[in-house]
Amino acid sequence: MSAVGRVATRVRELPTPQGPGRAHVCRPARSRGTVVLGHGAGGGMSSLDLTVARDVLVGDRWTVVLVEQPWLVAGRRVAGRPATLDAAWVPMVSALMSGRGRLPAPLVVGGRSAGARVACRTAAELGADAGLLLSFPLHLPGQADRPDRRRDAELALAPSPTWMVQGTRDPFGTPEELAPYVPEWAVMLEVEGAHSFPKGARPALVEALTRIAGMLPG
């Protein structure tokens, strides 16, 4: 991060209808815009794809915010229902992008797994300028043949443009399974790995996220 000069970091507690959430903000000087990312249903704020995305994008002068949903802040082990996740996410992102001390536009929304779903469902309401989806869960493991359980309708709500990073062996949806449902305004990059990337995937993730950083509208 030294290449971009000073990076201001802070943690903001933000009110939501489900209780307080947290925003972990990394803001470099002369920021190009803001990327807000949500975590998965298992928590995992330190998952490899989220941390690599943060480091690469901050290095490219993007303000990056990792958002903790209220259920995780409260110490619960199980995520809430999709509607409650959306209802917490929208006011948190809105607060970050408005008022005194608001973060810079353009706004890129995204996250990993369940966080990616939340970002898609709420992108229009937030007026997002772009999307970044990590390990999008098209279906539950072993349920690829269940159209009634597929999340392709959520993926169709992704903002334009959107970039995706998907593991080649992801049991929640391989790149081949996702391909028919990727919107025409989205670009999917494949990285060797499953739903949670192993440590050895770091170089490939860095390469993928560096390519994406060069294409973001900022």
Per-residue pLDDT of the chain (218 residues; tens, 9 = 90+): 334 668 999 999 999 999 999 999 999 999 999 999 999 998 778 999 999 999 999 999 999 999 999 999 999 988 889 999 999 999 999 999 999 889 999 999 999 999 999 999 999 999 999 999 999 999 999 998 898 889 999 999 999 999 999 999 999 999 999 999 999 999 999 999 999 999 999 999 999 999 999 999 97
Q: Does residue 175 contact residue 166 with C-beta atoms inside 8 Å? A: yes
| Residue 49, pLDDT score | 97
Q: Which residues contact 54 (CB under 8 A, 6 or more apart)?
A: 26, 37, 64, 66
pLDDT of residue 184: 98
Phi-psi category of residue 5: left, alpha or beta, with phi > 0 → left and psi -120 to 50 → alpha? left
Pairing of strands 107-112, 7-14: unpaired
- The runs of H, that is alpha helices, within the chain are 48-59, 70-73, 82-96, 114-126, 152-155, 175-178, 202-213
Q: Given this model, what pLDDT does residue 2 score?
A: 35
Predicted local confidence at residue 80, as pLDDT: 86
